[in-house]
Amino acid sequence: MRTEPQKTREEPAAIHARQSDKSGTASRLRVHSEKGSLSSTTGPSDVCAPAVSKVPHPVLQNQDILLAIFSQARARAEHEQVPYDSVAKCARVSQAFREPALQVLWERLSSILPLLRLLAPNFRTIDGGHEAQDRMSVRQYNAYVSGLSPALQPHILTGHIHLLQVLRDIPDSKQWARFCEYARRVRVLHHDGTANVVLKPRYGHRNSTVSDYSSSSESEPDPDADSVHEFDNQNNPDVEGAFNHEHGVNSGANVGHEEDEDTATDFYEDTEDGSDQDSESLFDLSGATYIFPSVWYHLRRLTAGQPLLPTLRELDWTTEPDQTEIFMLVGPCLERLHLRFNPMHPFTDHEYNATLPLLVRNIISLAPSLKHFAITTRAMSTVCSVLPEVHRMSKLRTLALDTGPPTGLSLNARSLRDARLDTLEDLESLTIGFRVLDDVLDADAIITLPVLRVLKVVDYAGNIGAYKLFNVPALRALEVTVCLPAHIPETYSALSAALARHFPAVTSISLAFQSLAPDSATLPMVPFSLLDVMQPLLGLPDIRVFSFLADSRTRVSFPSAELHALLRSWPLLLTLSVIVPLPGATPPSLVPEMPGVSALVDAARNHTELTILHLNCLKITQEELDAALLDGPDTHAEVQLSAPRAGSKLEVLTVAHMTNDRGKCVRPNHGRLLSRFAAVVDRLFPRLDLERCLQERPTWLKEEHWAWKRVLDEIAKLQG
């Protein structure tokens, strides 16, 4: 046969590859196909080189295959919330593996610190707060903090450990070259905390690499242990100040390279006991970090005016109105920017309005390709000062402006008109907060956005005339959050009618009602029926997604009949969410009317297209359970469940609260009732994804208090 000589020629190469693997040297792999070949060697010039004269098929390129493999390995490690050091080890296997492995490891960072640590030993961590507390009482330490420079005091958290990041010397040419080698690989940077105060997130809530000092246990690996995020401690002996070796830090040696060849892939493992951590707290204030401004000054000199991360595409950064390090990070390649302002620094509205226009204007000049821009302050309104500058972002597709609590500087109809948003021809998504009080809107105030598909509004006035401002013929998704001093059902009904009238083509609607009254205010509970306030929306025929959320100051009734009417009005509905958090000690007399098991049976039989259902409350009665579990004909034929409902496509079902026949809340220890209910759910919705259901747990409910988790556990047992 024609292929036999080729097979004979390949046999020595295969034998040599096996021998090379056994001896620990670099291996050679050749795979032939009809359209091309794959060749991987240790020589950089051989990467992607074809074994024959034919042009290799793109799918069989070495770099593409390795990149896909390493990306999957990192994604799996992030999903399982474990360090992805296996990918980092691949970077040390051979030259062919090095580039794709480092590309995967460095392309997305959740902190700027891993890059800065590449400048060690010149980049140092000073454990100033811990040292001070060791030598003086808390009162003395607080007095010590109060005596510091006023500029430094806001960055020091009283009574906690503070890690001060400094440069003790100018990095030499070798250190700077090393920094630049990895900085050019960064495509996405989501920095938790701020440039000057980094708050270390608890591991398990967000994947983040923030601080050298970690209090995670072996069973909870610190995300900072990612191999790529550390420097060669062995090659830099003068680095004791940046590591705490008494806490089990493992320096790790370079594997497969000489000492002078650094791949920035050494890793350490922090084994300090972290059993006393409060898993409910998102930020560990004991890990607060202050990066001295001199660090940015020296980096600015070294970059000579060029972007610090030259190929950065996406940036999520927290800063302050008086800081300028953001200008070192934005560059011509940047397309996505979310700018947050540090909530620990209570700047006034006037200070924001005085500084932000020029800041945004400079960002626009440095990043002319910006397509997605968001700005958040969490406490103050920045819309007025930023909005007039937005029209300069000619390529903008997504705009999300601060939607924090309203102030006297909130937007009105005139300021919306003067913003010239209609000049953004490519704008597809707009998120904005306003307080429109104008009673009469003239024609000149209308904002025409021809390609806008998503509109998210935070309304602090409830003026239905405000929605006449937007002429958005292509709108498909509408999200409205109404924040008023008190809940007024009549206002909500009028708002629903206005939304149905002005946005008839939408396919997704999200409504949220919130009270601005302080928690200490004693306001009466406002009862109303869900359909009473959203009846006009049922006339929209193409709704596929509907979400409703109200705070605990309301008492929203949503009985089975209303759920049935809603599903019947929207036959194309795919996702339904109705959430109203109840206080933990709600008496039975105040628990609103809610759907029962029969509503689930109806959804499974008659609304098979529904794939996601989130309910705030569900009533479980023995009578409805008996009817649902009945095998043969019975008087309750309308709710009987005689066979598994294979036609239902429901994949996600969550229930925040459940009540029994007596109106009392069902607890996780009500095993018999929950077991019977689990059998019903399992038969109604055979396609239920239990893992996704667990992930969708309401954030205000602790898992151990969530009776629905017990139901999911019982379903898992039934499924074997």
Tens digits of per-residue pLDDT, 5-45? 444 444 444 444 444 444 443 333 333 333 333 333 334 33
Least Cα distance to 419 among 377, 383, 378 occurs for 383
Q: Is there a domain that residue 704 lies in?
A: yes
More confident residue, 671 or 682: 682
| Amino acid sitting at position 349 | D
Look up the domain containing 137 and give its range: 106-291
Residue 563 predicted with pLDDT over 80: yes
Contacts of 610 (CB under 8 A, 6+ apart): 567, 573, 574, 575, 576, 603, 648, 649, 650
- Strand pairing class (37-40; 29-32): antiparallel
> What is the pLDDT, as a whole number, of residue 588?
59
| 345-370 pLDDT per residue, tens | 667 777 888 888 999 999 999 999 99
Domain boundary among 291, 323, 345: 291
> What is the pLDDT, as a whole number, of residue 189?
93
CB–CB of 534/511 below 8 Å?
A: yes
Report CA torsion sign: 550, 381, 291, 370: positive
Residue positions counted in the chain? 720
Residue 221 predicted with pLDDT over 80: no
| Amino acid sitting at position 296 | W
More confident residue, 298 or 285: 298
Least Cα distance to 618 among 578, 570, 646 occurs for 578
Number of domains in the chain: 2
Scan for tokens 């406490």, then name that residue: 379
More confident residue, 236 or 126: 126
The mean-pLDDT minimum among 178-182, 451-455, 535-539, 633-637 falls in 633-637
CB–CB of 412/384 below 8 Å?
A: no
List C-alpha distances in Å: 89 to 85, 252, 447, 564: 6, 11, 55, 56
> What is the pLDDT, as a whole number, of residue 245?
28
Q: What are the DSSP calls for 87-112, one per residue?
A: HHHHTTT-HHHHHHHHHHHHSEES-S
Q: What are the DSSP calls for 325-366, one per residue?
A: THHHH--TT--EEEEEE-TTS---HHHHHHHHHHHHHHHHHH
CB–CB of 370/335 below 8 Å?
A: yes
Q: How far apart are CA 186 and CA 171, in angstroms?
A: 20
CB–CB of 36/51 below 8 Å?
A: no
Q: How far apart are CA 466 and CA 399, in angstroms?
A: 19
Q: Is there a domain that residue 617 lies in?
A: yes
Centre a 10 Å sphere on the Cβ of residue 482 and count the other Cβ atoms it contains: 21
The mean-pLDDT minimum among 155-169, 375-389, 632-646 falls in 632-646
| 642-679 pLDDT per residue, tens | 444 446 899 999 998 888 888 788 888 888 899 999 99
Q: How far apart are CA 479 and CA 530, in angstroms?
A: 17
The mean-pLDDT minimum among 119-133, 386-400, 514-528 falls in 119-133
Classify residue 440 by its DSSP letter.
Answer: -
First vs last Cα of the chain: how many Å apart? 53
- Strand pairing class (612-619; 652-659): parallel
Q: How far apart are CA 658 and CA 582, in angstroms?
A: 11
Residue 126's SS3 state is strand
Q: Is there a domain that residue 634 lies in?
A: yes
Q: How far apart are CA 651 and CA 648, in angstroms?
A: 9
Classify residue 54 by its DSSP letter.
Answer: S
Q: How far apart are CA 282 and CA 202, in angstroms?
A: 6
Backbone φ, ψ for residue 3 (5° rounding): -85, -10
pLDDT band for 715, please (50, 70, 90 cuts).
very high
> What is the pLDDT, as a whole number, of residue 679?
93
> What is the pLDDT, as a whole number, of residue 295?
87
The mean-pLDDT minimum among 221-230, 317-326, 497-506 falls in 221-230
- The fraction of the chain above a pLDDT of 70, given in percent, is 61
| 153-169 pLDDT per residue, tens | 444 444 444 567 778 88
Reading the block at residue 620, the tokens are: 């479980």
Q: Is there a domain that residue 241 lies in?
A: yes
Q: Is there a domain that residue 246 lies in?
A: yes
| Amino acid sitting at position 243 | F
The widest CA-to-CA distance across the chain, in whole angstroms, is 91
The mean-pLDDT minimum among 231-240, 462-471, 642-651 falls in 231-240
pLDDT band for 255, please (50, 70, 90 cuts).
very low
CB–CB of 109/188 below 8 Å?
A: yes
Domain boundary among 291, 312, 343: 291
> What is the pLDDT, as a whole number, of residue 282?
26
List C-alpha distances in Å: 658 to 108, 567, 594: 42, 21, 9
Q: Is there a domain that residue 547 lies in?
A: no
Domain boundary among 239, 267, 291: 291
> What is the pLDDT, as a whole number, of residue 157?
42
> What is the pLDDT, as a whole number, of residue 191?
77
Q: How far apart are CA 192 and CA 110, in angstroms?
A: 7
Q: How far apart are CA 386 and CA 376, in angstroms?
A: 11
> What is the pLDDT, as a whole number, of residue 381?
62
Q: Is there a domain that residue 147 lies in?
A: yes
Least Cα distance to 333 among 536, 188, 179, 514 occurs for 188
> What is the pLDDT, as a whole number, of residue 203?
28
Return the percent helix, strand and coil in the chain, to nearest 5.
35, 15, 45
Q: Is there a domain that residue 404 lies in?
A: no
Q: How far apart are CA 313 and CA 189, in angstroms?
A: 9
Residue 629 predicted with pLDDT over 90: no
> What is the pLDDT, as a whole number, of residue 122?
79
Q: How far apart are CA 208 and CA 81, in angstroms?
A: 10
> What is the pLDDT, as a whole number, of residue 115?
87
Report CA torsion sign: 98, 101, 106, 107: positive
| 404-431 pLDDT per residue, tens | 666 555 677 777 788 888 899 999 999 9
Half-sphere exposure (Cβ direction) of 297: Cα atoms closer than 13 Å? 8
Contacts of 704 (CB under 8 A, 6+ apart): 668
Residue 74's SS3 state is helix
Average of per-residue pLDDT across 612-635: 78
Q: What is the mean pLDDT of the chain?
A: 71
Residue 432's SS3 state is strand
> What is the pLDDT, as a whole number, of residue 392?
92
Backbone φ, ψ for residue 571 (5° rounding): -65, -20
Average of per-residue pLDDT across 121-138: 54
> What is the pLDDT, as a whole number, of residue 466?
85
pTM of the predicted protein model? 0.71
